[in-house]
Structure 1
Amino acid sequence: MRSTRATYAIERLNARSTDLRYSMIRTATELFILAQNAGHDLPIRVSEPLELDAFVKFVNAYGPQKPKRVSKLDVEFEKQLQKRD
């Protein structure tokens, strides 16, 4: 199914944002729209109709982001790089 990447992007967004729930609207012309669920009301459209790649990129950048994990080795490596400069 073509929209699997888009579905997974929505799942990741919902995992990152605990307060709001998001869903995807798929148009007849194979475009995708990000929508914020509004309870019993109509969903609130967050994005314009986008193609699959642009939609996934938009959803991944939207909302809160997970902090990047940094190991102790990464910190020490950065210190060594700064000493060289």
Structure 2
Amino acid sequence: MASLRSTRASAAVMRLKDRSNNAPYSMVSTADGRFYLVLANASGDNEKLNEPLELDAFVAFVNGVSKQAPKKASKLDIAFEAKLRNKL
């Protein structure tokens, strides 16, 4: 079960790296199953960005660090939304 937890947390960190142009973020897992985020500095030190959090709180924190990628929408989705706005 611990591997599923760390997989979800590491996926959140990978999405953060994608949003931040591969900034050197990484996560640390504590012995009690909590996670915290670190950012590597130019001097090689790691800056701890939060206190250890439970999985759900950690994923929410990581998702809030950098702006989310815009949702993809097809031409049909955009046209449908425009029609809805014109009807109102």
Bucket of the pairwise TM-score, normalised by the shorter protein:
0.7 to 0.9
The aligned counterpart of 2:32 is: 29
Note the residue ranges of structure 1 that are not aligned, 5 or more in a row: none
> Runs ≥4 in structure 1, deviation > 4 angstroms?
none
Give the partner amino acid of 1:12. R
Q: Deviations over 1:36-69 (max 9, x none)?
A: 1124533111122210111112212321422221
Note the residue ranges of structure 2 that are not aligned, 5 or more in a row: none
Give the partner amino acid of 1:3. S
1:80 aligns with 2:83: yes
Give the Cα–Cα distance (whole angstroms) in 2 for the partners of residues 75 and 35 of structure 1: 38
The aligned counterpart of 2:56 is: 53
Deviation at 1:18, TM superposition (A): 1.6
Give the Cα–Cα distance (whole angstroms) in 2 for the partners of residues 13 and 40 of structure 1: 22
TM-score, normalised to structure 2, is 0.80
TM-score, normalised to structure 1, is 0.82
- Provide the identity percentage: 46
Aligned residues: 85
